[in-house]
Amino acid sequence: MRRSSGVFRVLGTFAACGALLVSGAGVALAEPTPRVAQIEKTTEVSPQRHDLIVSSPAMGGKVQISVLTPADLSYSRGTLYLLDGAGAEDKVSDWITKGGAESYFADKDVTVVLPSGKGAFYTDWQKRDAAVGKPQWETFLTKELPPLINSTFNGNGNNAIAGLSMGGQAAYALASRHPGLYTGAGSLSGCPPVTGLANEGYVRTTMAKDGGDATNMWGPFGSPGWAAHDPSKRLDALRGKNLYISAGSGIPGPLDQTTELDDGMSREQTIAAGAALEIGAYRCSVEFALVMRAHGVDATENFRLIGTHAWPYWAQDLKAMYPVLARGL
């Protein structure tokens, strides 16, 4: 049963009323205190899962987050941020509804944070987009949310980040752009490098599935915004971290017979679409793994001989990825 428990924890305060400052030059208004992210509401879904509504100045509104915790919260532990792929629009992360994360982490000594909604590559968009608005995911995930999670759920300050597809790219991008925040990163069927014709095309196609125009995200083709979010351009920031990368070849296997069908598509059509997407992710992921190898950046690789762009494979990969990321938590 879901029980609403009101405000679980409030961090900081909204803008304070201006105070009068008296000086020789006269009277002036003090700068208002900046707003910070706050938990507006929490729903206890189970003793080890809380669904939060977080008010975010960066995002300009409310963000829905699920948090999975160990049974014992009396001591601090690390936090894993787990990101969705494109097409996720539900109020609860696909990792919970489709990936089995809630049951998998039930006996793990880690706090897991799962944002929901359209991730839009979990980045700060440059311009407003008709479909996705102008989200500032990077600011929210790296500046606003970690202190709120640590103070509310007894975090020890060690964080790792991982995701599937679009979320896998974002995990490596964020880890390379904020190396002091994360001890590790993981990508499942993602495309971490985003520069070059093939890679940028893959990102643009992925974003278009959600109706967004990636030009509003990082600029026109080949512009500096793309290079700035390409972890292959920031490899030194990843050196020494716990890294995991995986993808399937795109060849269907037995697990594809258990995949949830896409709306209006047959089993054969769903498998074909998943195969095409995974072939692109496989090429891109292998390319990135080779670049990391060439520059002496160690990563655990898991490139499967079979597998499409589908949840049954990612649920399996989660079990292989987490032990790697747990080393830094």
Domains of the chain, residue spans: 39-326
Beta bridge partners of 29: 20
pLDDT band at 264 (very low <50, low <70, confident <90, very high): confident
- Can you spell out the DSSP letters for 244-288? EEEEE-S---GGGGGSPPPTT--HHHHHHHHHHHHHHHHHHHHHH
Closest CA to 142 of 72, 77, 59, 203: 59
Confidence of residue 35 (pLDDT cuts 50, 70, 90): confident
Ranking 7-21, 25-39, 121-135, 197-211 by mean pLDDT, the lowest is 7-21
Q: Are 299 and 292 in contact (CB under 8 A)?
A: yes
Q: What does pLDDT average to over the chain?
A: 89
Which helix (H) or strand (E) is 184 found in, with range? strand 182-188
Per-residue model confidence as pLDDT tens digits over 151-180? 999 999 999 999 999 999 999 999 999 999
Mapped onto helix, strand or coil, the DSSP state of residue 37 is coil
What is the C-alpha separation between 108 and 153, in angstroms, rounded? 15
Q: How many CB atoms lie within 10 A of CB 221?
A: 13
pLDDT at 13 over 80: no
CA-based radius of gyration for the chain:
20
- pLDDT at position 154 is 94
Does the predicted model carry a pTM greater than 0.85? yes
Cα end-to-end distance, the chain, whole Å? 31
Over the stretch 183-197, which tens digit does the pLDDT of each residue have? Answer: 999 999 999 999 999
pLDDT of amino acid 27: 46
What are the tens digits of pLDDT across the range 192-247?
A: 999 999 999 999 998 998 889 999 999 999 999 999 999 999 999 999 999 999 99
- Could you say which of 3.40.640.10, 3.30.565.10, 1.10.150.120, 3.40.50.1820 is the CATH number of the domain covering 39-326? 3.40.50.1820
The structure tokens listed for 98 are 């489709």
